[in-house]
A and B are shown apart, each in its own frame.
Chain A
Amino acid sequence: MDRRTNYNIDDYLKDDDFILAVVGGNLDKATELEDFMRLCPKQRTVIEAAKDTLLQLPEISDLTDEESKSLKQSIFKVAELL
């Protein structure tokens, strides 16, 4: 049985192949996903909803400027040390 048969939206958001197909524009993975939707039509709605979720992630988050800046500084600080 295909692992995705009982997937919910959250499962798709954690699935590497799904991310590669939707976000990565990987044609092989996208075709494979289309094939799966034909074989398992009850999953189509879930897949479409998961796709929308991934593709419509807002460019603005509730990470404050201060948090973002501090995180960046910390990354660069560690990077300088390495």
Chain B
Amino acid sequence: MIEQNCNANTMLNDSSELDARLFADFQSGDMNAFSRIYDLHINILFNYGCKLTSDRELLKDCIHDIFVKMYVRRSNLSDISNFKSYLFISLKNKLCDEMRRRVYMSDTPVEEFSNVSSDDDIEDSYIASESRKKDKSIVGDILGQLSPRQREALTLYYIEEKKYDDICEIMNMNYQSVRNLMHRGLVKLRTLAG
């Protein structure tokens, strides 16, 4: 295990140095470097994404978007200390944003967007799924009575576990407004839940 970790760390350092060189070249306008960055990371990034969703098309769209965003923001990305973790976190955030957006824009139950596989046996999964459906139906009814902004803020905070600063940025609101919005949403939820 120790040897395995050492090997992994050595490989990590080598690839980090190569990433740093390529990224510097890319920032200087070298599109071949951008191409190599894509070639080097596409498979591992796709494999990481497969751990988060089984929707291939969504995953490809998100990978597309994070590479485009990286291109657009290339001159402002000087503080990336590790390129691979930047890609992973960007992809994870993009997938979360997209899944959340799809949930808001459709009547499809939330659990259908959660595609991570489970080893539970089928009966337990079925019972748990039915129970979740019932709970979600109740929660959905109550949440449906909140304003979209209140729903978004509460979802970001309690389900996505975003920090207030992140919520402010996502919702384009200042800190106090987010606090007020969440407070009013919680008061309404408590009243509705009786």
Q: Which residues of A contact B (CB under 8 A)?
A: 3, 10, 13-14, 16, 19-20, 23-26, 53-55, 57-61, 63, 67-68, 71-72, 74-76, 78-79, 82
Contact = CB atoms under 8 A, between A and B. Distances in A.
Contacts of B101: none
Interface residues of B, number: 37
Chain B contact residues, majority secondary structure: helix
B68 interface: yes
Contact of B9 (A25, A26, A74): A25
Given A13-B48, A63-B46, 18 more contacts: A3-B161, A10-B51, A20-B89, A23-B85, A24-B86, A53-B51, A55-B8, A58-B47, A59-B43, A63-B60, A71-B63, A72-B42, A75-B38, A75-B64, A75-B71, A76-B31, A79-B34, A79-B71
B51 A61 contact: no
Contacts of A57: 44, 47-48
Contact of B84 (A23, A53, A63, A68): A23
A19 B44 contact: no
A25 B89 contact: no
B164 interface: no
Contacts of B86: 24
Interface centre among B46, B52, B92 (most CB of A within 10 A): B46
B174 interface: no
A23 B82 contact: yes
Contacts, number: 89
B77 interface: no
A77 B88 CA distance: 23
What 4 A-B pairs are tightest by C-beta distance, nearest first? Answer: A24-B85, A24-B82, A61-B43, A61-B46
Contact of B89 (A16, A72, A74): A16
Interface in B84-142: 84-86, 88-89, 92, 96, 116
Chain A contact residues, majority secondary structure: helix
Contact of A25 (B12, B42, B96, B116): B12
A10 to B, nearest CB: 5
Given A25-B16, A61-B46, A71 B64 contact: yes
Contacts of A75: 38, 64, 67-68, 71
Given A58-B47, A72-B35, A20 B85 contact: yes
B70 to A, nearest CB: 9
Nearest to A11: B161
